[in-house]
Chains A and B, each alone.
Chain A
Amino acid sequence: MQKGGPQTKLELILLFVVIALTVAAMATGTAGCGRSYSCVDCHTDRERLMADLKADPIKAPPKSTEQSGEG
């Protein structure tokens, strides 16, 4: 075994478990915050949407400021 790597069988098993849990979390969308949301969890909650969009606004498509008059 290299210095700094897993030293025992127990450490190897623990490392495998951690990797497996991480992959599973990424697959189910719980990575990072430890909680997962369905689409409607957010899209039916106006306050949550408002807070989320305030923190991370969606940029509107760019429009020319030169435009004027009626089309």
Chain B
Amino acid sequence: MEAQDKVLVAKAFSDSRHGEAKCTQCHGGTEPAGTRADAHRHMTANPAKVPLATGGDGKNVCSSCHSGITKAFAGSLHRTTAPVSDPRVAVVLARARAEDLATLKPALENHCSACHITSCGDCHISRPEWSGGGFVDGHKLQKAPNSISNCTACHGSRIEKEMMAEAPETVEPRPKPDVHWSPKGMQCVACHKESALHGTGQTTPANRYADPLMPRCEDCHDVGKDGVAAHRQHGLDGSSRVLLQCQVCHAQPYNNCYGCHVGKDDKGLAYFKTDKSVFGFKIGRNPVKSAERPYDYVVVRHVPVARDTFAYYGQDLLKSFDAAPTFKYATPHSIALKTAQNASCASCHNNPNLFLQEKDVAPDERAANQDVIVKRLPFNMGR
């Protein structure tokens, strides 16, 4: 996006309700002014930033009218990214010991907190700051975030590539776009409701799958009563002992990342490097079984953590690396009615390669994935 377009205000904004106020009312600065420097002195470019819940009440320029939302948002997963970056509860800390937490804290702050949504404007006015910013539509306020300009500006490596069928050319057969995206034309907010994106203000969920407001296929698809034989046979009407996550049959290959290593360059700038990304598809045992997600088999995605991810900060900081799997419960956005694995019973039940087995896991990670690896293939296929 060209620099001038990032800050070009559309006339339609001035004509809108939010455009009734003087620019300086929200942004500060000086108006009128003779030079850019004079105009921008004491100006706040992004006055819609929301302070974190800890010690804050969500007050910003928007809260004078939308205080309920800004207060809830201050503790939302989009604002805190707590499961990724909070040095008290980040998921990766399950792999660390207490004595190393203080050493890991700056690593999390330097490398794992950059993609916070810090401002109401990141979804409702501009592209997220993390992806370079710039007005989505001439500073006009969008009621809902734009799937491309906002959502996939951050959720690009996995969601965008899967949803829009942007797998590398080497992936065969070629995946189709997620059916909800094309041809259905559904935007992200069709499933990810406002209340889930803004948060409730009650508590911050431990992770996105623990959030009761997260969308579920069953919200729209009544799989228990639709009469589809495969749904009945795989426990979705409650009649079978083995229960499958919907994606086991309806996801196409999805992105997996390996070998993330973080550090700082000679200018002191933080960076990360990942070794490789691979589109693949694996069915594993459900590592996070719960009343809400009772499935026995789920699709699993390799996450980029490695035993030496934080080696820049110290040796062996993930001493309990094997305490959590590297293949995680996944909900790929690559959904299709017909997939390679659901073409017939045999296309899954006679295809052991679909299942995560010992041979699919690097020797160094096998201990970590014992709860996920499928040791007894359904119907003893291929044995």
| Among candidates B3, B34, B132, B263, residue contacting A53 with C-beta atoms closer than 8 Å | B3
In the complex, chain B residues whose CB is within 8 Å of the CB of A33 = 34-35
| Distance to closest chain B CB from A56 (angstroms) | 7
Overall SS of chain A's interface: loop
Q: Is the CB of B7 within 8 A of A37?
A: no
Interface size class, chain A: 35 or more
In the complex, chain A residues whose CB is within 8 Å of the CB of B7 = 43, 49
Nearest chain A residue, comparing its CB with the CB of B161: A70
Docked CA distance A1–B10 (Å): 58
Question: Which of A2-10, A12-20, A61-69 sits within the interface?
Answer: A61-69
| Among candidates B3, B10, B23, residue contacting A39 with C-beta atoms closer than 8 Å | B23
A22 close to B (CB within 8 Å): no
Q: Is the CB of A37 within 8 A of B33?
A: yes
Interface size class, chain B: 35 or more
In the complex, chain A residues whose CB is within 8 Å of the CB of B272 = 67, 69, 71
Docked CA distance A50–B5 (Å): 9
Q: Is the CB of B277 within 8 A of A29?
A: no
In the complex, chain A residues whose CB is within 8 Å of the CB of B29 = 39
Nearest chain A residue, comparing its CB with the CB of B11: A44
| Distance to closest chain B CB from A39 (angstroms) | 4
Q: Is the CB of A66 within 8 A of B271?
A: yes
Q: Is the CB of B32 within 8 A of A28?
A: yes
| Among candidates B34, B260, B274, residue contacting A37 with C-beta atoms closer than 8 Å | B34
Q: Is the CB of B270 within 8 A of A64?
A: yes
B31 close to A (CB within 8 Å): yes
| Among candidates B39, B157, B263, B269, residue contacting A71 with C-beta atoms closer than 8 Å | B157
Q: Is the CB of B32 within 8 A of A38?
A: yes
Q: Is the CB of B271 within 8 A of A67?
A: yes
| Distance to closest chain A CB from B177 (angstroms) | 19
| Distance to closest chain B CB from A67 (angstroms) | 4
| Among candidates B3, B11, B39, residue contacting A29 with C-beta atoms closer than 8 Å | B39
Q: Is the CB of B34 within 8 A of A62?
A: no
Docked CA distance A50–B1 (Å): 13
Docked CA distance A56–B36 (Å): 10
In the complex, chain A residues whose CB is within 8 Å of the CB of B24 = 39
In the complex, chain A residues whose CB is within 8 Å of the CB of B115 = 71
In the complex, chain B residues whose CB is within 8 Å of the CB of A60 = 132
| Among candidates B8, B23, B33, B274, residue contacting A36 with C-beta atoms closer than 8 Å | B33
Q: Is the CB of A29 within 8 A of B38?
A: yes
Knowing A28-B32, A30-B34 touch, does A44 contact B8 (C-beta < 8 A)? yes
Q: Is the CB of A40 within 8 A of B9?
A: yes
Q: Is the CB of B273 within 8 A of A49?
A: no
In the complex, chain B residues whose CB is within 8 Å of the CB of A28 = 32
B257 close to A (CB within 8 Å): yes
Docked CA distance A65–B272 (Å): 10
Interface residues, chain A, with chain B CB atoms under 8 Å away: 28-40, 42-44, 46, 49-50, 52-53, 56-58, 60, 62-71
Q: Supply 5 A–B pairs (Cβ within 8 Å), ascending by A.
A: A30-B32, A44-B8, A44-B10, A68-B274, A71-B272
Interface residues, chain B, with chain A CB atoms under 8 Å away: 2-5, 7-11, 14, 23-24, 27, 29-36, 38-39, 115, 132, 157, 255, 257, 260, 263-265, 267, 269-277, 304
- List 6 additional contacts besides A33-B35, A39-B29; criterion CB under 8 Å: A42-B36, A43-B8, A43-B23, A49-B7, A53-B3, A71-B157
